[in-house]
Amino acid sequence: MKRVSPLTTALLLAGLSHATFAAAMPAEMNLSSVKAENGVVIDTRPSAFYNGWPQAVNTVGGHEPAALNLSASWLTLMSDEQLGEWAKQHQLNKTGLIALYGDDAQAVKTRLEKLGFTQVSMLKDGLQDPSRLQKLAHFEQLVYPQWIHDLQNKKPVTAAPAGDWKVIEAGWGAPKKYLLSHIPGAGYINTEEVESEPLWNKVSDDKLKAMLAKHGIRHDTTVILYGRDVYAAARVAAIMLYAGVKDVRLLDGGWATWSASELPVERGLPPQPAPADDFGATIPGQPQLMLDMEQARALLHRKDASLVSIRSWPEFIGTTSGYSYIKPKGEIAGARWGHAGSDSTHMEDFHNPDGTMRTGDDIAAMWKSWNITPDQQVAFYCGTGWRASETLMYARAMGWKNVGLYDGGWYEWSADPKNPVVSGERKPN
């Protein structure tokens, strides 16, 4: 039997039809009333504030319990079809109650009503009770453009670096796009400085030590990385964390978010940093973050562990290898699918429309459907480590504690014909 809410019952008893239902909706409702109606709450602010960054120093950030995030700033990036798909993914009912709060909530209300949602109200007590706000466990690991800009201009910021800090762009090859436009004062790291052929695994610890010294990075330097592709910066970030840099952060959404923010940019060659005399700690500082092939193999077929493929579905089922230089097709037998994107160069499954990280709840639910849970030992891999590094950084921001990266990935695994592989359509075990 379908449950009828008290509000619906009262309106029906008053003789109101569904056609006049929307007009009878209160313009504003408080959280307790929305919960009583089994309604959905949506935060319309940028994801940084939803995740936990306060909108002003010395205030509390985060979102209302169980709130979804649909930033008003995404509306111009989403067609009606894409917005409808978002609503479908989050199981929104066109006749169900929706309560909005945050920046430009009215714009989101207008757009939802255009799509046929009939019960859209405003949450009048949204963000009024700091004690009930929820946040990403380590939201500070995913910074946003204005935070960097304020830090550079010596303004007070939440979660400020404890000591020296650097902003660095990471990308493959020479800094061609960097030369044309980059974040003011940013350095540049070529990903070939941290990984090398034939398998594009991380370089030796000695080479890592030399690379860090060259860029003036010690174990206690806060490194803020960004890339034209988020996973390029994430690849460098993961390897720096392995080496023992304690505080490594990503610009959420990468260069695209800085460009969209209309903050200042620079042109020209990267600066020559003063080399660091000593890293100040033993390398590697976190060896558990990088797994070799035997360690990855040991995670297979365990209920308390997951070896997680961050590859597109066509790669996972063996339709394509995903790479021109990787010939074998298929997947590690026993690996679980962690999603990725449409092909080996995209990560749409993890991104909001502006390229920032999807909510931790969305990602956790996506993983849970494949029996990947935070209480397990989890190691991510992809073809050569870039996409898996991005998910490693997201998992750490979400507070997942026992996570790592199978550095060799499908490239290494598939090169040994003795390793078990599987192809074809399949479902979670």
pLDDT at 1 over 50: no
Reply yes or no on domain 288-422 having CATH 3.40.50.970.
no
- The encoded tokens of residue 274 equal 């003063």
- pLDDT of 7-33, one tens digit each? 555 444 444 444 444 456 789 999 999
Mean pLDDT of 404-410: 97
- What is the model's pLDDT at position 243? 98
* Contact residues for 91 (Cβ-Cβ < 8 A; gap 6+): none
B/e letters for 22-38, b = 16+ CB within 10 Å, e = fewer, are: eeebeeebebebbeebe
- CA 79 to CA 77: how far, in whole Å? 7
Q: Environment class of residue 19 by beta-carbon count within 10 Å: exposed (0-12), middle (13-18) or buried (19+)?
A: exposed
Which is nearest to 291 in space by CA: 395, 394, 377?
Answer: 377
- What is the model's pLDDT at position 6? 53
Distances from the Cα of 139 to the Cα of 52, 126, 413, 426, 428, angstroms: 6, 20, 34, 34, 30
pTM assigned to the model = 0.94
- CA 78 to CA 194: how far, in whole Å? 36
In this predicted model, which residue has the larger pLDDT, 4 or 288? 288
Are the C-beta atoms of residues 331 and 423 closer than 8 Å to each other?
yes
SS3 167: strand
Mean pLDDT of the chain: 94
Domain range annotation of the chain: 28-123, 139-282, 288-422
pLDDT above 70 covers what percent of the chain? 94
Helices (H), 135-254: 145-152, 176-180, 205-214, 230-243
- CA 178 to CA 337: how far, in whole Å? 34
- What is the model's pLDDT at position 239? 98
Mean pLDDT of 357-361: 98
- What is the model's pLDDT at position 56? 86
Mean pLDDT of 289-316: 97
339 in the Ramachandran plot: left (φ > 0), alpha (ψ -120 to 50) or beta?
Answer: left
pLDDT at 224 over 90: yes
Which listed residue (142, 382, 398, 403) is catalytic? 382
Name the pLDDT band for 39 (thresholds 50, 70, 90): very high
Helices (H), 103-229: 105-114, 145-152, 176-180, 205-214
Active-site residue, 382 included: yes
Mean pLDDT of 368-391: 98
Q: Is the dihedral of CA 240, 398, 107, 89 positive or negative?
A: positive
- CA 134 to CA 386: how far, in whole Å? 30
- What is the model's pLDDT at position 24? 63
Strand partners, 135: none
Q: What is the residue-wise DSSP string for 332-353?
A: ETT-EE----SSTT--GGGB-T
CATH number of 139-282: 3.40.250.10
Name the pLDDT band for 2 (thresholds 50, 70, 90): very low
Which is nearest to 23 in space by CA: 146, 110, 111, 121?
Answer: 121
- pLDDT of 242-272, one tens digit each? 999 999 999 999 999 999 999 999 999 999 9
- CA 290 to CA 408: how far, in whole Å? 9
Mean pLDDT of 329-341: 98
Which is nearest to 30 in space by CA: 98, 102, 124?
Answer: 124
Reply yes or no on domain 28-123 having CATH 3.40.250.10.
yes
